[in-house]
Amino acid sequence: MTFWQQLKMDKVAVISLTIITLVLLIGIFAPVVAPHDPLGTDIKIKFADASWSYPFGTDQLGRCILSRLIYGIQTTVMLSLITMAATIIIGTLLGVIAGYARGKVDEVIMRICDVLLSFPSEVMILAIVGMLGPGLGNVVVANIASKWAWYTRMIRSLVIQYTDKNYIRFSKVAGCSGTHIMQKHLFPGVVGDIAVLATLDTGWVILNISTLSFLGLGVQAPTPEWGMMLNEAKNVMTMYPSLMLAPGFAILIIVSAFNFLGDSIRDALDPKHNQQKAVLK
């Protein structure tokens, strides 16, 4: 059974994938889907309850929460995906090269990683954003810069475990080129582990972007962003706790969807696991 057939059989994976796709589609078509302008303030109706025209009510400036949530997808989710994608690509490439080549190449890459990893990531992000100036683009760059070293190291150790395996040795003896080995054996081997690592990190990235926005270094108000909405709602938590619900649940749902999807991807890539499931059925 191919990977996709396997994934389709897993109900949890299907649900997660559907949720993520739906969210992404809504985000892309935000101008069409959102009922109101996310930036449109109307102090008169601030803290309004849920109603037909404002399905999730309004926030402290009278803006439609649902619309802000929908536009927030573009900021929160899509930016996180771009950040994750870039981090993973850089980390995987360098990690596989370092793990397979060993020797001097490995030493050089690892020492660079060591230096970068010795900075606490929050401090590094602040420093980079401080140097480049606030703004979403710079937040993304800062996130990538602080995380790629960690991925490189993780993937390198995974690759080293694999290079000790006899089938890699056999391929070398049989005369397979390095790129062939990396492509056919190493990448598929680590992809499963990367999928799980990446999806778990998506939540971290989402929260990171929101933290920076809160500090005024990332998203600038009034751009809608889920984390930012949570932080704004925090200020009126005692009076209007319901304001935290919408963005809070949104983050919960999307991060859970990614986590479950990661698990399912890893399971679908593991032939042994599939066999066991088939037997049990």
Partner 1 sequence: MLEVKDLYKSYKKQGGSFFSQQKQEVLKGISFTVKKGECLGLIGESGSGKSTLSHLILGLEKPDRGEILMEGEPIKKWLKKHRGEMSVVFQDYTTSVNPRLTIENIIAEPLHALDRGKEAKAIIGELLKKVDLSDKLMGRYPHELSGGQLQRVCVARAISTRPRFIVLDEALSSLDVSIQAQILTLLKDLKQEMDMTYLFIAHDLQTLTNLCDKVLFLYKGNIVERVHSTKLFDAENEYAKRLLASVIVFGQ
What residues numbered 219-278 form the site for partner 1, per CB under 8 A? 269, 271-272, 275
**Residue choice 63, 153, 185, 266 for contact with partner 1 (CB under 8 A):** 185
Helix (H) or strand (E) holding 18: helix 11-28
Helix, coil or strand: residue 138? helix
| Closest distance to partner 1 from the beta carbon of 186 (Å) | 10
CB closer to partner 1 out of 86 and 110: 110
Taking CB under 8 A as the binding criterion, the range among 28-36, 162-170, 207-215, 245-253 that sits at the site for partner 1 is: 162-170
CB closer to partner 1 out of 101 and 132: 101
**Residue choice 32, 43, 131, 173 for contact with partner 1 (CB under 8 A):** 173
**Cβ–Cβ under 8 Å, residues 26 and 78:** no
CA–CA distance, 256 with 16 (Å, rounded to integer): 8
Taking CB under 8 A as the binding criterion, the range among 36-44, 74-82, 135-143, 161-169 that sits at the site for partner 1 is: 161-169
By CB atoms closer than 10 A (0-12, 13-18, 19+), residue 229 is: buried
| Residue 240, phi then psi, degrees to nearest 5 | -130, 75
Helix (H) or strand (E) holding 245: helix 242-269
CB closer to partner 1 out of 4 and 52: 4
| Closest distance to partner 1 from the beta carbon of 166 (Å) | 4
- Look up tokens 């949104």; give the residue: 250
| Closest distance to partner 1 from the beta carbon of 189 (Å) | 7
Residue (of 208, 220, 239) closest to 59 by Cα position: 239
Check binding of 183 to partner 1 (CB under 8 A). no
Q: Which residues bind partner 1 (CB under 8 A)?
A: 165-167, 169-177, 180, 184-185, 188-189, 269, 271-272, 275
